[in-house]
Homo-oligomer: A and B are copies of this chain.
């Protein structure tokens, strides 16, 4: 970035977050100038539909439709990318970096898929690329991993980083809402989109976990390397059963360094009721980082929203303008090692199963054999009358089975055996259990 008295800012996107950033830069220009040490002057804004925005932007900045044009203007020193999505955002960021502009982005998809390449590009051109807002909204987890925790060898990152699913799960857990009811409620409040796939299938969380794991382990994690399971199969009953076992269910994103490789997973998880993560309700986000020196720190706060995201975007802007970019390339250290990944089949965790079974003698015995055949040890069994049983021909029951820790692969084989068995009408849900509690104590409850 050229060291002129004024810093030219280009803004891509004027949506909820972009609009808030725009307002802040205009309303608090003086205060930002003071904090940055230089005047920040908004030079150009790119929007899809200029007509709708002409009044807002007025004469204070050029209003363009082509974001690429903003990225290469001579009077722009820093580009703030708030378009979202992979294309054209990724190309815009690359173009800006190549043109010697520092870039601030909130784009998790771009950073998850192209982060390493773009960060190298930034290094090569001696400019900064900041993306604090891409994970956890206003929670300062990116900067903390890059700076304050960098003396640590990070062992584990556990995170609730998708507000939509956490809100839905809170509704199902606290108000006994069904998945469909929780989704409708989330959509009504604007927490979920018309097509909720990215959220409820864990795609959004996998993007964010890839970004966090790449930073935490100084390596390159691709989003598709993260094992994903969604929350569609959860029923309100699972939350009751979990509570009776001393657990709560959260959509947990986990990145764990093990001796045999990095364990990367996003899925609904049973965690002990006293786990700090169990207290994260609604649209809150939280990230727990365990380091070799530090022990564990937990950061929690609003994971989304215009204000929280703008807070991170504007801090990044002040950071690059503050010439900290010189330090950035080191902070954003390049991949130190290509990651050795731990196959999911080797992940060793206890399991929670909800099965629909015919209500007749011999069923438990046969199920027991299926588990024993794979060396999976059952920790607790609870049989309850199946809610649907009333209006179904054959008498059926619901079985809640928890196992002791066992390889995920063995559990897969148990499940396919159960699927083939006529002692099982349906495998309702299979959830993994994490946390410090072992199932002896739970089974004993």
User: When chains A and B are docked, how far (Å) is the Cα of A307 from the Cα of B311?
Assistant: 31
Q: Is the CB of B151 within 8 A of A318?
A: yes
Interface string of A276-312 (1 = CB under 8 A from B): 1001000000000001111111111110010110111
Q: Is the CB of A301 within 8 A of B293?
A: no
Asked if A91 is an interface residue, CB under 8 A from chain B, the answer is no
Taking each of A144, A148, A322, which has the highest tally of chain B beta carbons within 10 Å of its own beta carbon?
A148
Asked if A319 is an interface residue, CB under 8 A from chain B, the answer is yes
Q: Is the CB of A297 within 8 A of B331?
A: no
Q: Is the CB of B297 within 8 A of A301?
A: yes
Task: Name the 3 nearest CB pairs between A and B, nearest first.
Answer: A140-B148, A151-B314, A297-B301
Q: Is the CB of B330 within 8 A of A151?
A: no
| Partner pick for A315 among B148, B296, B298, CB 8 A cutoff | B148
User: When chains A and B are docked, how far (Å) is the Cα of A293 from the Cα of B309?
Assistant: 8
Q: How large is the interface on A (under 10, 10 to 19, 20 to 34, 35 or more residues)?
A: 35 or more
Smallest beta-carbon distance A247→chain B, Å: 18
Interface pairs (25), CB distance under 8 Å: A34-B333, A34-B336, A35-B150, A35-B333, A36-B330, A138-B297, A143-B148, A147-B319, A147-B324, A149-B311, A150-B315, A151-B313, A151-B317, A279-B279, A291-B311, A293-B308, A294-B301, A294-B311, A297-B299, A298-B301, A299-B299, A319-B327, A322-B327, A324-B331, A327-B327
User: When chains A and B are docked, how far (Å) is the Cα of A327 from the Cα of B143?
Assistant: 15
Asked if A349 is an interface residue, CB under 8 A from chain B, the answer is no
| Partner pick for A149 among B291, B305, B315, CB 8 A cutoff | B315
| A279 cross-chain contacts in B, Cβ below 8 A | 276, 279
Q: Which of A328-356 contact B (CB under 8 A)?
A: 330-331, 333, 336
Q: Is the CB of B294 within 8 A of A302?
A: yes
Asked if A236 is an interface residue, CB under 8 A from chain B, the answer is no
| Partner pick for A151 among B24, B151, B295, B331, CB 8 A cutoff | B24
Q: Which of A131-159 contact B (CB under 8 A)?
A: 132, 138-140, 143-144, 147-152
Smallest beta-carbon distance A233→chain B, Å: 31
Q: Across the two chains, which residue of chain B brings its CB closest to A320?
A: B327
Q: Is the CB of B322 within 8 A of A293?
A: no
Smallest beta-carbon distance A301→chain B, Å: 3
User: When chains A and B are docked, how far (Å) is the Cα of A300 from the Cα of B277?
Assistant: 12
Q: Is the CB of B315 within 8 A of A147?
A: yes
Q: Is the CB of B295 within 8 A of A302?
A: yes
User: When chains A and B are docked, how far (Å) is the Cα of A140 from the Cα of B291?
Assistant: 13
Q: Is the CB of B312 within 8 A of A148?
A: yes
Smallest beta-carbon distance A179→chain B, Å: 27
Taking each of A144, A276, A307, A330, which has the highest tally of chain B beta carbons within 10 Å of its own beta carbon?
A330
